[in-house]
Amino acid sequence: MTLSYGEIQTLLSESAYNPAIAPKLEAYVRAQVSAIASSIVASESPNVEYCFDANRTLIKLYQFFPQLEEEAGKDTITTLVAFLALLQFPSTDFMALSCLIPERIQTQYEPCATLVRCADLLESCNFTQFWPEFRKLGIPEYGARDGEVVVSGDRKLLSNAVNGLNASSLIRGNMIQMLARTYRTASLSLVLTSLDLKDAASLQSFDSKAAGGAIDKIEGDVVTFVATADNTKRVGSAFKEGVSYEEVAALMCQ
């Protein structure tokens, strides 16, 4: 039976570095991904919420007790953890986990290697190039090792989550917020290709339903985002620093 979010928090506070809790943490990782794959987003479920601390603890246990990871199928659990962190972009969750996941898995093992490429593309804001890489994760057989015939249940679970609506919606929502902080206006074609949407109607619908109203209006080929302190030019005294020359000189003399 999968533990609830509250029970996971209690488990972490009492037995964070006990290898015996690994199966419970693995089950909770699968539950988080299953919630993404279903019609109910994890954050909307009272019992299953994204828990970075639990996922990170599991990866640390794999470091401290390598035999846990060497058991059949555990490297796919690492991939599921990386996938959950990717959905939190632009948070630093994926970066933090990348310091714990062995390099051989990040560079040689698929589909984790593709997840690393996806994270790099998001970090560099190459949104248009991100989507073709991300869609590869939706192919269960993608990255199968030589001689592998049967696709594991965890790999199928990842594919189901990628192919569902929730994962793409979460990433698009974070992308459009990044665009809204960067641009006051942008070309419609740029925004559509960045979000992997087909037309202005799809963009308008997504913004109103999932993005919290980041767009002010769409006119022709121009998308105008809601004005914020981040995307609006600052003029006059608002742009001046409040440090005098005397204060800087005093610091330099110390």
SS (H, E, C) 69-86: HHCCCHHHHHHHHHHHHH
Tell me the pLDDT band of 72, cut-offs 50, 70 and 90. very low
108 and 232 belong to one structural domain: no
| pLDDT at residue 142, rounded to an integer | 85
pLDDT in tens, 136-187: 999 988 877 666 667 889 999 999 999 999 999 999 999 999 999 999 999 9
| pLDDT at residue 59, rounded to an integer | 94
Q: Is the pLDDT of residue 107 over 80?
A: yes
The SS3 call for residue 140 is: coil
19 and 136 belong to one structural domain: yes
Q: Is residue 171 part of a domain?
A: no
User: 166-194 burial string, b = 16+ CB within 10 Å, else e?
Assistant: bbbbbbbbbbbebbbeebbebebeebbeb
| pLDDT at residue 24, rounded to an integer | 95
Mean pLDDT value of segment 98-112: 89
142 and 242 belong to one structural domain: no
| pLDDT at residue 202, rounded to an integer | 96
At 117, give phi and psi (nearest 5°): -65, -40
48 or 145, which is more confident: 48
The rounded distance, in Å, linking the Cα atoms of 155 and 141 is 8
Q: Is residue 170 part of a domain?
A: no
9 and 107 belong to one structural domain: yes
Tell me the pLDDT band of 40, cut-offs 50, 70 and 90. low
The CATH number assigned to the domain holding 30 equals: 1.25.40.250
Q: Which of 163, 192, 213 is where one domain is finished?
A: 163
Total domains present in the chain: 2
The rounded distance, in Å, linking the Cα atoms of 80 and 33 is 7
22 and 109 belong to one structural domain: yes
Share of the chain above pLDDT 70, in %: 87
> At residue 89, what is the residue type?
F
| pLDDT at residue 148, rounded to an integer | 66
| pLDDT at residue 69, rounded to an integer | 74
Q: Which two tokens stand for residue 202?
A: 């799809």
Share of the chain above pLDDT 90, in %: 66
Question: Using omega within 30 degrees of 0 as the cis cutoff, is the peptide bond preceding 23 cis?
Answer: no
Tell me the pLDDT band of 120, cut-offs 50, 70 and 90. very high
Residue span of the structural domain in which 249 resides: 184-254
Count of CB atoms situated within 10 Å of the CB of 119: 22
Answer whether 138's CB lies under 8 Å from 163's CB: yes
pLDDT in tens, 6-30: 999 999 999 988 999 999 999 999 9
| pLDDT at residue 252, rounded to an integer | 73
The SS3 call for residue 218 is: strand
